[in-house]
Every structure is written in structure tokens, then in C-alpha cells.
A and B are shown apart, each in its own frame.
Chain A
Amino acid sequence: MVGCDSRFDTFQPNEVFSLALAKTRSTSTDLASQDASRVVEELYGTPDEPLWPDLPAAKKAVSDERNLFRSSGPVSSEKDGTHLGLFREHCVTCHALEGSGAGPASAFQNPYPRDFRHGVFKWKSTKRGHKPTRRDIRELLVRGIPGTAMPSFALLEPEDLDALVDYVVFLSARGEVERRVTAAAIDELDYGETSPVAELMLSSQSGTEGGQVVQDVVGRVHTDWAEAEEHEVVVPYFPELSGEQLAASVTRGKAFFHGKVANCAGCHGPAGDGSLPTLDYDDWTKEYTTRIGLTPDDRAAMKPFRDAGALRPRTIAPRTLGDGVFHGGGDSASLYRRITQGIAGTPMPAVEVVSESNGKGLTDGQIWDLVRYVQQLSTSH
């Protein structure tokens, strides 16, 4: 057995995605996956020696590339108390070296640890289809997620938190580039049972069509990260109410909770206790199950994916609102964003914000009514 400060020469390829891709494209993805791993390693380095691609198309998405060095590699510390190998010290047991969310201790956790490689994060201040800001990730690290294994890292040094944020961005960008490059190899570069011609081979260098595809993917992913702040949800002013005004607002919120537009009760239950049975899955699970036509309960169909490292498919449960525990934060601004954007990667839908009440969405005032009802629901239990 080797411990968590052992050296690792390479990131494991994303075999689960490769299998799912093979199923949807009805072709072998082995060569594409193999070349994508090679190219991604040339661009992003290894778990012990990470790199940050210096491509013209790639915008700067990490604050300080030295943070990648601090967070990667074996655990150690320096004379002044500076810790190195932060990701392996704090995160790897759950999130795994690649950020796949399938670390050694992941099987016991519900929900499973986040797979960063999709580039999708639940708890953020940006619009649903966009990346979280660095501040979102940092706040999540400080706050932790109550009721789950995700700890609060509030006791860590601020520099350590910054380094971890950069490394999470690094792993996410690296993993997403690997996925997109593999898919592009099949869809755009004629990869299949055999390798394509040299011009179309995946390459980390520009000058060929294969190299250009890689540059485009890296540019897109990095730009998404770099421009995340431009997509923050603007939260309107939240009027503090009390007495009869608050009671009236809560009553209206209750009506929206059970109404047709928001229909929160449809999943969270009439009492907000999450008691209704659900058969839905999050997007990370759907990728290797329902989205490619496989039944999650079909053990034989799941076996190749499980062997490749996928976790056992598990249904996603709506939050029990009555216990007052909100994984992404229970403050009014967070709840507003959650209602208006839904939760990325989950079946939680968004409610459309309208300027005038029209039966298809809710106005800002109505959303605040709903927020107050949800907050009251959690405190009344």
C-alpha cells in the first residue's frame, strides 16, 4: 500500500465518459480517448507537476499559477508552516486525484462528491449555464455544506484557500477539456476504429486542424471560467418586513409554493419535508444512465461503467426544507438565485422572473414572498 503523499505520474483518463461516448456515437472511442489524454497531459501536466496552458486563445482563469504548484503533489510543509500538496491533504479522499468525485471515501457519501470535470457546479452566484466565480468556490470552501461530508475550511490560511480555489478551477478546466476534446475527436476529426490522417490528429500544437480543435476547446473552457463574473445573477433589493406585513408576505409565499407556476410542493412535498418519492437523477449520473438509454437499476448494463470507475447510480432527493439546512446557503440572496436559476446539474428547475404577474413566472416581489415562506418553513419546525 502507498499513502497519500505518494507520487503520481499521470491523471487517469475519463473512461466513464469515453464509454458513454462510444455508446452514443456507436463507435470505438479508445483511440480518441488515448490521444485526448496525451494532449491534455501535454497541456495540463500531471498530478505532481501541473501546467497551465499558455495558448493564445486561452484566457487567464486562475489567479496565480504558483497556486497550482502549492496545491498539487505530495503533502508536506515548510519551515514557516506553509503547506504543500493541499489538494491531497484536504480533498483527494473524496474528490479523487482527477477531481472525478470518485475518491476512496466517495461511496459512503450522499450526495456523492462533486465531479469537477463536467465544469458544472451547484452552488454559485452565476446564471445556471455558467461557471461559478472564484468567490463562489472560495465561499463554499469557507462555509462548507452542512449535512454532507463537505467540510468547512474556515480554519485554513487565506492563501491556502486561494490555492485550493485555483486548483479546483484547474481540475475542472482540465477535465472538461479532456471531455470536449474526446468528443470533438469523434465528431469533427474522424476518429473511430482507426486513427485519422496526420492533419486531423489531436495535437497540443497549433498548425494542424487537430491542433486548432484543441485550441478552440481550451479557449472556450478557459474563457468560460475567466468571464464567469460577467454572468452573476443580479439580486434585487430585499425589503426587510415584520409584523403583519411579514405574515401577509409569508401567506402569499405559501400560495406560490403550492401554486402552478413555482409548484415547489410538487417535489418538496406540501409540508416542504421532501417526503414525495422521486425517481430522478442528477446530470452527473444521467450521463452514463438515462441519457444514453440505460436503466440505472440494470446491473449488467451498469457493470462496464462501474468497472470504469462510475459510482452506483443513486436517485436525487429534493431538499427537506423544514429542517432549515440549505446546502447552498439559506440567506435570502442565495434562495432568490436558487429559485430564479434552479440548481445546475439537478432536476431543480428555474422560475422565470417577469416584470408583471402573468401566470407564467413570478415577479421579484413574489419571489421574495416565496423566499420568506421557505425561510419561515425552516424556522417553524
Chain B
Amino acid sequence: MASEVNLVEQKGRGQLVHRLSVLLVCLVWPLIWVGGLVTTYDAGMAVPDWPGTYGYNLFLYPYKTWLLGPFDLFIEHGHRLLGAVVGLVAIAIAITAYFKESRRWVFFLTLGLLGAVITQGLLGGMRVVLGDRTLAMVHGCFGPAFFALCAATAVITSRRWNDYLTREKATNIGSGVATLFAAIPVFSYSQLLLGAQLRHVQPNAAPGIFAMIVATHVFMAFLLWVVTFAAWFKIRRCGDLTLSRPARLLIGLVAVQIALGVGTWVVNYGWPSILAWVPGSAGFLVRAKGFSDSIIVTAHVATGSLILAVSVMLWIRLLRVRHCRDSAIERLITEQPASTRSFKTEDKTNESLLEPATA
């Protein structure tokens, strides 16, 4: 407890870590977009060597050849360069956290972040060196997890993280609501894994297996939408906009993601029979390697990662709010004599109790 109060006093010291973390988040999402484009264009093997590019040091590869060369080379080398920048920022975060961040566990978190970006780079490199798309799928699935970790770091290092401790009003979040919010990243990531199976499907996979994965992916998409709606409904009047607004955003993001999912199917396989009523679907022509079509497919990948990151950010904030509320209650218990305690402790049987309570 004392250390947390101390942290509040030291407010501002770790802001550089936070700013770098936000920068990292802002870099990683475009990195996921470019990585998605690499897969959409089957350009993963456009540069056959690693860590260099056609024998050059990554940073010394002639920029004219890169910018004016084939599109595959442009996006693959660009992906590597952006990945390297992300790695450098992750190193900067870890160093800054060592000097500026007084919470030791946060420093270790930034080390974890650095470890994750190194792992991700190695996965991408081994995918190229071994020419193995299984590793490409693992690389593609690890990327969103890393993005979510970046978002979590940004939340944890933010000023608001400490502000929750000193709020006059504590938001009362039941454990049921926390569980509901925990389900969102779990579902989101499951969806990412299922999507990766479809995107990197085996040529000799049975049509029945593919159909089963598609059906599960679609069912879970709508289930996720229902869960995000239920989660927002539970906290819509909690009085904390840092929770209710992202929860509302998630509903919209999942809706957009479902639309992008339909779009992804349409640009790959035409309109499904269930949507044959859509005007123009009977004569719709799929165009291989169309740029706008590729953007739709890649946007579906990138939005999936965004949903995961936002849901993780929201869940961590929620846990923090709960933790601060419990700490406040504990503090009151220890500070007041037993005979004068008049506050109402949380009713554990009513987990949906979300009205702001005076701490």
C-alpha cells in the first residue's frame, strides 16, 4: 500500500515510459497491417535471406531498389524495417523503465515486451530461412498477442493507472463483470487463431474441416458481438468513461469486423448462397490480387488485432479499478475503529452492483 501511495507522489517520473509505450502501440498496428499485406500478397518469401536483405544489412539496402522494385519486395522489406524500428523502441522502453520506473514489476514487464519483440522477429526470420509457412502462421498469431501486450504496457504506465488510487469515488465492479470482460480477449484471440487456420489452410485439408472452422469462426463472431454488448450493458452507467467508452467502442469494432469478415469471404470466394438476395451478387466477379480486395482482407486481420488490444486494455483497466476499490476499502477498515465503521462493504451476492460508491 505504501509503495502505491509513493507512486502517486512520484507521478510523472514514468511518463517517458508511457509515451514510448504509446509510440510502440502506434507503430505495431501499422506493422500488423503491413504484415497482413505480406501474407495477402503471398510475399513472405520475396526476400529469401534473413536478417539481411539480398546480402545487404537490413538498414543499408538501397532505398531506390526497395521503393521502386517489385511490390512484394516493397512490402516485405518495409515490414522488416518497421519491425526493426519497433524493436528499437522496445529497447528504449526497457532502458527508460530501468532508470525512470520505480515499479520493479513494470521494468520486468518492459523486459518481457523486449523479449516478445525479439521472439516475433526470430519467428519471422525462421519462417523465411526455413521457408515454412507453419512458422508464418505462428508469427501471424503471435503478432496480435504482442500488440495486446504493448497496449497493456501503455495502460499500466499511464498516469491514469495511478489516478485510480486517488479517486474520490470508486467504481464498484463485480467479479462477474470482470469475468465477462475477461472472456472478450479470450474469444478475440480464439477468433484470430481460427482465422489464421483459414488464411493458411493446408492444400490437402478436407473440405469438411475447412467448413467446420468457417462455421465456428462465424458463430464465435456473433457470440463475441453479444458478449461485447452484454459487457457494455453491465458497465454503461458505471460512471467511469475510461471503461464505458472503450466497451462501447468494442461493440462497434466487432460489428465492423463482422462486415469485414463477410467482405473477406466475398472477395475470396464470391457471395455465399445465404446472401444471394444481395443485389448484384449473382453477377459478382472475384478479382485475384485486386488492391482494394487485398485491403479488405488485410483490414479484417488488423481489426481483429485491434479488438484484442482494446479488450485487453479494457480488462486490465477493469482489474485495476477493482484492485483500487478493494485497497480503498481495506484502508478504511484499518484506519477507522471497528465501532465507527459505517460504510457498506460489497455485497458479494450482487455482482452487478455498479453504482458509484463513496470510498
Contact = CB atoms under 8 A, between A and B. Distances in A.
Interface of A: 1-6, 8, 12, 74-77, 79-81, 83, 88-90, 92-94, 96-97, 102-110, 144-156, 309, 311, 320, 323-325
A79 B272 CA distance: 37
Nearest to A2: B134
Given A2-B133, A109-B269, A79 B45 contact: no
Given A144-B285, A151-B287, A102 B207 contact: yes
B175 to A, nearest CB: 36
A46 to B, nearest CB: 13
22 contacts: A3-B136, A3-B137, A4-B203, A6-B133, A8-B203, A12-B204, A76-B48, A81-B46, A90-B288, A96-B203, A103-B203, A104-B203, A104-B205, A106-B207, A109-B269, A146-B285, A147-B282, A153-B288, A156-B289, A311-B207, A323-B282, A325-B283
Sorted nearest first, the 5 A-B pairs with minimum C-beta distance are: A81-B70, A3-B133, A76-B45, A151-B286, A104-B210
A56 to B, nearest CB: 34
Interface of B: 42-46, 48, 54, 69-73, 131-134, 136-137, 197, 200-211, 214, 268-270, 272-273, 281-290
Given A155-B287, A311-B207, 17 more contacts: A2-B134, A2-B202, A6-B134, A74-B131, A75-B45, A75-B133, A76-B131, A92-B203, A93-B201, A104-B206, A105-B201, A107-B211, A108-B211, A147-B284, A153-B289, A309-B206, A325-B282
B349 to A, nearest CB: 45
B273 A96 contact: no
Contacts of B72: 77, 81, 83
A266 B273 CA distance: 25
Contact of A110 (B45, B132, B134, B273): B273
Given A76-B45, A77-B46, A5 B133 contact: yes
Contact of B200 (A3, A8, A79, A323): A3
Contacts of B286: 144, 148-152
Contact of B54 (A75, A79, A81, A105): A79
Contacts of B283: 146-147, 323-325
Contacts of B70: 77, 79-81
Contacts, number: 147
A125 B284 CA distance: 24
Given A1-B197, A79-B73, A93-B203, A151 B285 contact: yes
Contacts of B201: 3-4, 93, 104-105
Contacts of A150: 286
Contacts of B210: 104-105, 107
A155 B269 contact: no
A156 B45 contact: no
A99 B90 CA distance: 47
Nearest to B210: A104
Given A155-B287, A155-B290, A96 B200 contact: no
A74 B42 CA distance: 11
A366 B339 CA distance: 106
Contacts of B273: 110
Contacts of A103: 203, 207
Contact of B43 (A8, A77, A146, A152): A77
Nearest to A144: B285
A296 to B, nearest CB: 17
Contacts of A74: 45, 131, 133
A167 to B, nearest CB: 14
Given A97-B204, A103-B207, A4 B270 contact: no
B200 A1 contact: yes
Question: Which secondary structure dominates chain B's binding surface?
Answer: loop
B207 to A, nearest CB: 4
A145 B288 CA distance: 12
Contacts of A105: 201, 207, 210, 268-269
Contacts of A154: 287
Contacts of A90: 288
B271 to A, nearest CB: 8
B288 A104 contact: no
Contacts of B269: 94, 105, 108-109, 149
A92, A96, A97, A105 — most chain B CB neighbours (10 Å): A105
A81 B44 CA distance: 12
A110 B276 CA distance: 11
Contacts of A94: 269
A95 B264 CA distance: 19
A299 to B, nearest CB: 14
B71, B131, B132, B133 — most chain A CB neighbours (10 Å): B133
Contacts of B272: 108
A242 B288 CA distance: 38
A5 B208 contact: no
A88 B270 contact: no
A325 B281 CA distance: 10
B214 A5 contact: no
A77 B43 CA distance: 7
A108 B270 CA distance: 10
B256 to A, nearest CB: 23
A77 B200 contact: no
B207 A107 contact: yes
A271 to B, nearest CB: 15
A29 to B, nearest CB: 22
Contacts of B69: 79, 81
B285 to A, nearest CB: 4
Contacts of A104: 201-203, 205-207, 209-210
Contacts of B134: 1-3, 6
Nearest to A83: B42
A107 B205 CA distance: 12
B24 to A, nearest CB: 28
B84 to A, nearest CB: 20
A153 B117 CA distance: 37
Contacts of B45: 5, 74-77
Contacts of B42: 75, 77, 83, 89
A103 B311 CA distance: 35
A146 B288 CA distance: 13
Contacts of B71: 81
A74 B201 CA distance: 13
A81 B77 CA distance: 13
A83, A88, A96 — most chain B CB neighbours (10 Å): A83
A190 B72 CA distance: 54
Contacts of B131: 5, 74, 76
A76 B45 CA distance: 5
Nearest to B196: A1
A6 B127 CA distance: 12
